[in-house]
Structure 1
């Protein structure tokens, strides 16, 4: 149970858990944490041996990323992807480990090479897919590793979208919309007032969505939800019983901001669709790269007659 549900070992010390086990089987003695940890380590060794057998004859691709936990500890995760005899795409995490040393290209390359060697994959790694951070790009240089370095298509697309936001002045709208959403999501009275207005205006009872720089397509989701809830949001801001005049003046979005959120929606929708397709983890996605890029450049990001100047600027920058 602890292994399958990834529960803390301390679960077995819980009073409720012990009462449940005693109710089901009064004669059962719950093992100590030490015993359970020993069992888990044994299970890990068995699972690792099984996985080594599965990838023994396969050529694999790696994906890797460095990330930070809520405790501000740094980690690296390395995942391998391979195709079994029945043509099923399989994935397995080879390593998730704390990174106490500096994230230099040399240290990251050492970590990748050590992981590949410990799993017996030396000479059978075709490529490593990673983001565009300079250190991980340099770590996958042919001088340091024996496989091909591949920048993540979706991450590259996300960087292009952010360039478009900056060039077209959309960043100002994102910041203003973010402040508005934060007000509603962090204020219980504002949330309750929004729910009441949604009921009154017969609009969906949806929470507003906050955008996040590291979460792809979150600007699309934030804009879409705000446009959906525009009149309920405006109703709450204009109600002096719910929102102070000073707060309303700070939070209210200009008409041209609302208009831009509507106008840019089709382009953001196409980019979200492309990212979703390219982020699939159970299908081989490389064959989609050219058709998607071609379609974005020649159709969805092509300036149309009805585009406003800022939407045209956004499309042009992302396309470039």
Structure 2
């Protein structure tokens, strides 16, 4: 049975990986000499569009920024060739970027030889009266670096029973092929979790 998910908050994947990619892109700015950049510069609309998408995601700017008159004037002065995209196009670009990072993270986990430690947290937003859950994977990669990847951030519909949570978590484990790689599962001291964990363990292969 499919579990209804709030599309405004459903994030299945690698936020840390996305932020790392964005930060690496930012740190490379200014590494090359300004004179060589000017001499060899050729405007690339696709590259500019991708960097704009990364900027929106990195700084959590509103998508409506593309409609701001001041922003459009600024772009026209800095680079008249740059075509400001629409809000809907920007949304699609962000989702494509997210999906590419999610695929990279899935590949990293699936090709890694170590087991995966899972931590889960759930809370209710007081201003919305809605429940949310995060699932994070922790592991040592093949280069002996500690990795922590936020794999899923999602809205959980009521009631928050053990059966509902088990269905969501197991679906996630199989989606990411984690059913044979989980080493530990850490949750908070909630009575529902006491019922949930044994049900999850039945489906896992150690």
Scaled to the shorter chain, the TM-score interval is: 0.5 to 0.7
Q: Distance in 1 between matches of 2:77 and 2:93?
A: 24
User: Alpha carbons of 1:24 and 1:130: their partners in 2 closer, same or farther (altered >3 Å)?
Assistant: same
Give the counterpart of 1:54 among 82, 97, 108.
108
RMSD between aligned residues: 2.0
Q: Deviations over 1:108-138 (max 9, x none)?
A: 1111111111111121111111110111232
- Displacement, 1:147? 8.3
Distance 1:117 1:18 in 2: 45
Q: Secondary structure at the match of 2:70?
A: helix
Question: Is the 8 Å Cα contact of residues 113 and 145 (structure 1) preserved in structure 2?
Answer: no
- Answer whether contact 1:77 1:96 (CA < 8 A) is retained: yes
Asked if the contact 2:131/2:158 (under 8 Å) is kept, the reply is no
How far apart are residue 27 of structure 1 and its match? 3.1
Unaligned runs of at least 5 residues, structure 2: 1-54
User: 1:102 matched to which residue of 2?
Assistant: 159
**Paired residue secondary structure (2:200):** coil
User: Cα offset for 1:83?
Assistant: 0.6
Structure number with the bigger relative contact order (C-alpha 8 A, sep ≥ 6) is 2
Q: Deviations over 1:21-79 (max 9, x none)?
A: 22312332211111112112211221111001111133101111112334333211111
Structure with more of its chain in strand, by fraction: 2
SS in 2 for 1:3: helix
- Which runs of structure 2 are paired with 1:81-230 in the superposition (5 Å)? 81-141=138-198, 143-146=199-202
Q: Is the 8 A contact 2:116 2:181 kept in 1?
A: yes
In our comparison, the structure showing a higher alpha carbon Rg is: 1
Aligned to 2:35: none
Q: Which has the higher helix share?
A: 1
1:276-311 C-alpha deviation (Å, 9 max, x unpaired): xxxxxxxxxxxxxxxxxxxxxxxxxxxxxxxxxxxx
Q: In structure 2, what is the Cα distance between the partners aligned to 1:89 and 1:147? A: 27
The reply on whether 1:10 has 2:67 as its aligned counterpart is no
Structure 1 residue runs without a partner (length 5+) = 149-320
Structure 1 stretches of 4+ with a deviation exceeding 4 A read: none
Residues 61, 126 of structure 1: 8 Å contact kept: yes
Q: How does 1:238-249 map to 2 (within 5 A)?
A: none
Partner of 2:44: none
SS in 1 for 2:148: strand
Cα deviation for residue 11 of structure 1 reads 2.5
Deviations 1:69-99 (A, max 9, x none): 3433321111111111222111111111111
TM-score by length of 2: 0.65
The two structures have a TM-score, normalised by structure 1, of 0.43
Query: Which secondary structure does the structure 2 equivalent of 1:79 belong to?
Result: strand
